[in-house]
Amino acid sequence: MNTKGRDYVRVNMPLLGLGTWQVRSSDIPGSLDAALSAGYRFIDTAQIYGNEAAIGKALKELLPKYNLSRENIFITSKLAPGNQGSVAEDSIQKSLENLQSDYIDLFIIHWPGSSNRSESPKNAALRRQSWETMEKLHEQGKLRAIGVSNYLERHLEELLSHTKVLPAVDQCEYHVHYQTNDLVNYCKDKGIHFQSYSTLGSPDGRKKLMNDPKVVTLAEKYKISVPVLLLAWAINQEISVLPRSTKKDHIEENFKALQIQMDPADVQSLLSNDAKSKYCWEPNSVV
């Protein structure tokens, strides 16, 4: 793919952020307080999570407590599938209002399809319209970087055929039991940062990951908890992670993953442990 002349956007994004999927608005202040205290400077949310406004309100109250400003915090939000196309710009403006910010550090298309219409022939046109809207808002400085989520290689190929701005990130399910290494390598080749969600297996696969014998053995070797080992495994591959929790001790524990330097042989041993077990949404059917 000829990328000559394309705008390559680079922003300083931490490798570990606080995920807020399924975190109720009432739990946001406590979660953010614990995260900021522990050292987190990256918060991941989305329009469909319904907690953008709670995050905006909490940050206004908490940043002064930690002598921080908006510029010290990296915020990601995502375009809801139902907001693809002509309503994208209005929905992004609403996200800015909810977050009480003049800009969003990274804004991404949450899903390659529109709503639940995975096989709709309109998906490609809606994706393109959404991206062009995001490019315009990026040029205006309202979106400092733009990217995608749940995009497979074919979705990225389509995007790269027309985009003026290289997507900064592709955020996808990735963990020891589900490794999309062809996609990871494709993103590296194109200069797109690959980001993992559900690194701990999400609700459906968490117990299986926590009890995986190889994972448990390595956690014991490094004298760390299994969740920290799983997060560190991704980070040691330069894949960023977004662990979610509302519990102060878990939030603090997860942050320790940034300090773990794994032996490359141990990273490789888990790369050979792919069970092809997908625990989240399946974008393969989205045309």
Judge whether 47 lies within some domain. yes
Domain count, the chain: 1
Judge whether 100 lies within some domain. yes
Judge whether 111 lies within some domain. yes
DSSP secondary-structure letter at 272? Answer: T
How far apart CA 51 and CA 75 sit, in angstroms, is 13
Q: Residue 155: which domain range? A: 18-200+239-245
Judge whether 132 lies within some domain. yes
CATH number of the domain where residue 70 is located:
3.20.20.100
* 133: amino acid identity, one letter: T
Dihedral over alpha carbons 106, 110, 113, 118 (to 10 degrees): 160
pLDDT digits (tens, 9 = 90+) for 207-248: 999 999 999 999 999 999 999 999 999 999 999 999 999 999
Which residues are tagged catalytic?
Answer: 49
User: Is 177 annotated in some ligand binding site?
Assistant: no
* 112: amino acid identity, one letter: P
How far apart CA 8 and CA 168 sit, in angstroms, is 8
How far apart CA 279 and CA 102 sit, in angstroms, is 35
Judge whether 256 lies within some domain. no
Comparing C-alpha atoms, which of 72, 51, 59, 14 is closest to residue 33?
59
Per-residue pLDDT of the chain (287 residues; tens, 9 = 90+): 333 344 544 568 999 999 999 999 999 999 999 999 999 999 999 999 999 999 999 999 999 999 999 999 999 999 999 999 999 999 999 999 999 999 999 999 999 998 755 677 899 999 999 999 999 999 999 999 999 999 999 999 999 999 999 999 999 999 999 999 999 999 999 999 999 999 999 888 889 999 999 999 999 999 999 999 999 999 999 999 999 999 999 999 999 999 999 999 999 999 988 888 999 988 988 88
By the 8 A CB rule, do 239 and 228 touch? no
Q: What percent of the chain has pLDDT over 70?
A: 95
Judge whether 43 lies within some domain. yes
Judge whether 27 lies within some domain. yes
Judge whether 217 lies within some domain. no
